[in-house]
Amino acid sequence: MADYFYHFVVALGIGIFIGIQRESVYDEPEGNLFAGGRTFALISLAGFSAALTADQLASALPFAAMLLVFGMLVALSYRRDLRDGRPGMTTEVATLITFVIGAACYWNLILLAAALGVALMTLLSLKPQFRTLAHAITHEDIYATLKFAVISIIVLPLLPNRNFGPPPFDVFNPYQIWLMVVFISGLSFLGYVMVKVVGTHRGIGLTGLFGGIASSTAVTLSFSQRSRTTPELARPFSLAIIVAWAVMFVRVWVVVFALNQALSYRLVLPMTASLVAGLIYCGYLYLRQRTYEKEDLTFVNPFELGPALRFGVLYTAILLISTAARVLFGNIGIYISSFVSGLADVDVIALSMVDQVRASTPLDLTVAARAITIAAMSNTLFKGVFALMSGSPALRRALWPGMALMVAVGIVVVFVMV
């Protein structure tokens, strides 16, 4: 009985919160609102009661009948909205989901019910952001994403999921390689969407933050070149560049954590050390000059087939090179290939090290962590050198201490403490 009461309270609470959210954003007379705080609470309890009745009678008929009743009410409400020139049916759909949430509470699916409630309230609250995104995303973005999705969903299951090549170079697995391409492109697409939503005009530092998820290299190249035409913004540009580099460390760790938790734990210290060093220097730059000018950045949709295919080829090549270096030169070969490969891309090294840790002859976790850190520092150095060469003198003065600090801290920590 106590469990039933607990589930009842959860269903009631979720319904109340959903209803309050609906009332808080509704900008028309209260009489036109299909359902508010009390109604949503009742709908959730109705779902709970329907599931309870069905369970007690050992028949799904009461639940189906109650769900049918609510479906008819939703249909009538939508018909009224169409007649009044308001064709949206967000609230009506939310009522049906709330009914299911109430039933899920009775079925002891509390975590699922809570997740559904949070997801529902989040989607209901993000209406302005979705409108902004809809206007920001171009037809080319949608077309590129659809092409990538079709190829991934249709082609990926058809690719052979086995390794090709003579041992120990049997690392070519078409399925795994394309799966990694999808994974990395999806992560980059998240940053791409964030930049589209907030807009690059919201602040140079904010652009560096979200741009670092999409491409820290793009942030570095763009702001370095623009520092020559607007040298007075050299310090904010440096702030955005270092923020993007710091986000890159977080991104690399997230990639590794999603694929191999044991290896990600070895990366916590060096990645965190470089991240903290960069953030400390960002704080110094921020306090020295707070400037927010409108600056636009151009990012390429990571779901374009060209960049995705290039990443797949690069990933395969680095996987073969690092494997050969390990076989021929041992750990030193791994470190050298990581440094050289990191000049082009850190993600490919991270993924190749994850693969080698999972190989039939597994690579030592410490060696893999050091290799990924070396690649991250190599990539940071490469971007830093480019920024120092192409940026204005003021940018060079503001940027090089932060770059040196991040790289030095990361290298020292990974070789001394890992």
pLDDT in tens, 237-288: 888 888 888 888 998 999 899 888 999 998 999 899 999 998 898 888 877 7
DSSP lists the bridge partners of residue 111 as none
pLDDT of 128 higher than 60: yes
Q: 3-class DSSP state for residue 156?
A: helix
Residue 54 structure tokens: 């069905």
What is the arithmetic mean of pLDDT over 145-150?
74
pLDDT at 31: 47
pLDDT of 4 higher than 50: yes
pLDDT at 293: 47
Distance CA 269, CA 417 (A): 8
Distance CA 18, CA 48 (A): 16
Burial group, residue 204, by CB count within 10 angstroms (0-12, 13-18, 19+):
buried
Higher pLDDT: 101 or 389? It is: 101
Q: Which pLDDT tens digit goes with each residue over 53-67? A: 888 888 888 888 888
pLDDT of 29 higher than 70: no
What is the arithmetic mean of pLDDT over 103-123?
87
pLDDT at 72: 81
pLDDT of 382 higher than 80: yes
Residue 309 structure tokens: 């295919």
Residues 325, 336 contacting (CB under 8 angstroms): yes
Q: Which residues contact 358 (CB under 8 A, 6 or more apart)?
A: 260
Q: Which residues contact 18 (CB under 8 A, 6 or more apart)?
A: 40, 44, 94, 98, 117, 120, 121, 124
Q: Which pLDDT tens digit goes with each residue over 319-336? A: 677 777 766 777 788 888
Higher pLDDT: 296 or 18? It is: 18
Q: What's the pLDDT band for 135 if we cut at 50, 70, 90?
A: low
pLDDT at 342: 82
Higher pLDDT: 185 or 195? It is: 185
Residues 270, 249 contacting (CB under 8 angstroms): no
Give the range among 20-24, 112-116, 261-265, 346-350 with minimum mean pLDDT.
Answer: 20-24
Distance CA 185, CA 366 (A): 27
Give which of 204, 268, 269, 298 is closest to 242, Cα–Cα.
204
Which parts of 107-203 fold into alpha helices (H)? 110-125, 127-136, 139-150, 174-198
pLDDT of 232 higher than 80: no
Give the chain's mean pLDDT: 78
Higher pLDDT: 134 or 295? It is: 134
Q: Hey, what's the torsion of the CAs at 41, 44, 45, 46, to 10 degrees?
A: 120
Q: Which pLDDT tens digit goes with each residue over 164-173? A: 766 556 667 7
Domain locations in the chain? 2-125, 133-416
Q: 3-class DSSP state for residue 172?
A: strand
Give the range among 132-141, 151-160, 351-360, 386-395 with minimum mean pLDDT.
Answer: 132-141
Give which of 356, 412, 348 is closest to 379, Cα–Cα.
348
pLDDT at 257: 92
